[in-house]
Structure 1
Amino acid sequence: MSSNALNRQPQFLDIESSSYDEDCFPICIAWSLPDGQIKNVLVMPDDDWSPHNSTLPEETLQHLYDNGVSGIDIIREMNGDLDGIPVYIDGIDYDTELLEKLYETFDEEPTFELTPVTSLFTNKSFEEIIDNKNQIIQDNNFNTEQAEHNVLSLLIMAREDGLI
């Protein structure tokens, strides 16, 4: 095993959405890199998502337009950073749907595989993983509505469990 493989950390991804409604869309995506760094990107809403019909406040929507990155640029960056590896998520159905919406909008395919965190933390049930993650969030005063904090909490859990 090379030293690169030994230093490689599991990679996590989290997506925040405009709402929990059926017509929601991604507004922020965070993912970790093999060295543990985290990328956190605001998503510029695409017109296909009917962002002006969303429940987001107008100032939040304007912030996404002003500071968000275009979906195709995010796709290229994620595919480059995560190519060919399992990427662990705790909201398997929800995050998968949001990611599919992003990729389908631009007629692209992810080059990585979304994998449930239960396949990494095999010594815990899903409920124990979520409880553990929530405790880490609470202990560190993280905000559960920030994708970056959700990814960081999973990295901390992996470190605490000896997976890093």
Structure 2
Amino acid sequence: MASLPIFMTAVANSSDEPAFPLLFTWSTPETQVKEVLVIPDDKWLENHTIEPNLHDLNEQQLYEFGFEASDILAEWTNEFDTDVIYGLDPDAISLLVQATYDTKGLEPSFEVQSIHSWFEERDVNLDDAVAEQGNNTPLHLLPPDELVIQLLHIAVEHGLIDPSDIPDQVD
């Protein structure tokens, strides 16, 4: 079996004009699902606001429970031994990853590719696989941790990763 892919999703400050992340959720090679709130960089807030979102994340929560970009980047550096991660909306996630790296004047150490492509390359239609599970909720409307876990479960069901690699809960 192939090693566990890194699946990532994110919540942005705005659904119409995303400029910076509020939350990142990702799977790790150690079979964990991690979720972290992001403390907004002062420069982000100079030109953009945090709009109401499906996850009810607000600025107070981010400052109270979030992590600085430098802490998140350090964690990614330690965890990601790959130059590719996969996301449902790779363009949006790339923009949010780039904004996080920009706070430290760095370039991302990985690119974000389509999760649909990852499954298609392995002869699995993701939309069909979701429907087969009986899930009527569109993937983009799932809570971030549930989305990552569902992607991992679909990969297991289709023999793309080992079932013992799947986490039972979010850290």
TM over 0.5: yes
TM-score range, shorter-chain basis?
A: 0.7 to 0.9
Residue of structure 1 equivalent to 2:49: 53
Residue of structure 2 equivalent to 1:69: 67
> So what's the TM-score if we normalise by structure 1?
0.78
Q: Once structures 1 and 2 are overlaid, which stretch shifts more, 96-105 or 109-118?
A: 109-118
Aligned residue-pair number: 155
Percent of residue pairs bearing the same amino acid type:
31
Superposition map of 1:1-164 within 5 A: 6=1, 8-50=3-45, 53-56=49-52, 60-122=58-120, 123-124=123-124, 128-130=125-127, 132-133=129-130, 138=135, 144=141, 146-164=143-161
Q: Is the 8 A contact 1:137 1:149 kept in 2?
A: no
**What secondary structure does 1:120 align onto?**
helix
**What secondary structure does 1:29 align onto?**
strand
What is the RMSD of the two structures over their aligned residues, measured on CA atoms? 3.0
Query: Runs (4+) of structure 1 moved beyond 6 Å?
Result: none
Q: Matched residues in 1 for 2:101 and 2:29: separation?
A: 23
Unaligned segments of structure 1, at least 5 residues:
1-5
**Cα displacement (A) at 1:154:** 1.0
Residue of structure 2 equivalent to 1:3: none
Deviation string 1:34-62 (CA, Å, 9 cap, x unpaired) is 13211111111111111773324998210
Deviation string 1:62-95 (CA, Å, 9 cap, x unpaired) is 0111100001110111122113342111211111
Higher helix share: 1
Unaligned segments of structure 2, at least 5 residues:
162-171
Q: Matched residues in 2 for 1:120 and 1:91: separation?
A: 13
Q: 1:159 to 1:149 in 2, by over 3 A?
A: same
Report the residue type matching 1:158 in the other structure.
A
